[in-house]
Structure 1
Amino acid sequence: MSLHLAKPIADFIEANARLDLDGMLTPFLPDAVFIDNGKHFEGQAAIRHLFEQEVIPVRAIFTPETVRDEDGHVVLEGPAHGDFTGSPIRFTYRFTLVNDAIKTLETTV
């Protein structure tokens, strides 16, 4: 199944599939906020650090299976797999877009 995603979200997902750190950051606004299971990372530098510590080393790749609009957010659901305990784990990714870029991304299990 092919999902139709807004360009910044599609770019993020594609970069994550390649574990391309710079590509994963490009769709985010400079003052974006990433909320990872309740922990807030504000700005691209903090988000980069999160990816360097939590995504790249364990090769965590999110594969969305569903997409829906919900109160102005784009919500994706699917598994993340990689070299971590419990892989694969199902996640929900909730994106807020502003000016064709990611303003917020909240992930929950």
Structure 2
Amino acid sequence: MQLPRPIQTYFTARAPQDGDALAAAFAPNAIVHDEGHDHRGPQAIRAWWLAAKAKYRHHARPIDVTDTAGRTVVRATVTGDFPGSPAVLTFTFGLAGDHITDLGIG
């Protein structure tokens, strides 16, 4: 499956060592919406990602990707320390050039 480079970085980054690479995949004004909260800017997104990795010790494996209305939608199997694991979640990415501008997880 061919994923755009910043999305590939999102799914292959390992915590904590790849935190800076993950942050660099996001645009300066990027926003992530997850679990009812918004995280704005690469450093806040990096902090959110590291905290989620520490809490859930999870890994997401992409199943498929579609482009819908200018968005890249990736369904992924997420396995970790949370109720209902493994679960299939939908990651909806906005992209501008080589950066993620927004990400919604649900």
What's the TM-score, normalizing by structure 1?
A: 0.85
Shift of 1:87: 1.4
C-alpha separation in 2, matches of 1:74 and 1:99: 13
Name the residue aligned to 1:77: 75
Name the residue aligned to 2:64: 66
C-alpha separation in 1, matches of 2:91 and 2:61: 11
Which residues of structure 2 form unaligned runs of 5+?
A: none
Q: 2:23 touches 2:43 (CA, 8 Å); kept in 1?
A: no
C-alpha separation in 2, matches of 1:37 and 1:72: 23
Name the residue aligned to 2:21: 23
Name the residue aligned to 2:103: 105
Matched, 1:6 2:4: yes
C-alpha separation in 1, matches of 2:64 and 2:32: 20
Identity %: 33
Shift of 1:88: 1.1
C-alpha separation in 1, matches of 2:30 and 2:54: 20
C-alpha separation in 1, matches of 2:29 and 2:96: 11
Q: 2:56 touches 2:80 (CA, 8 Å); kept in 1?
A: yes
Change over 3 Å in CA distance of 1:57–1:22 after alignment to 2: farther
Q: CA RMSD for the aligned pairs?
A: 1.5
Q: Which shifted more, 54-63 or 64-73?
A: 54-63
Shift of 1:27: 0.6
SS of 2:11's equivalent?
helix
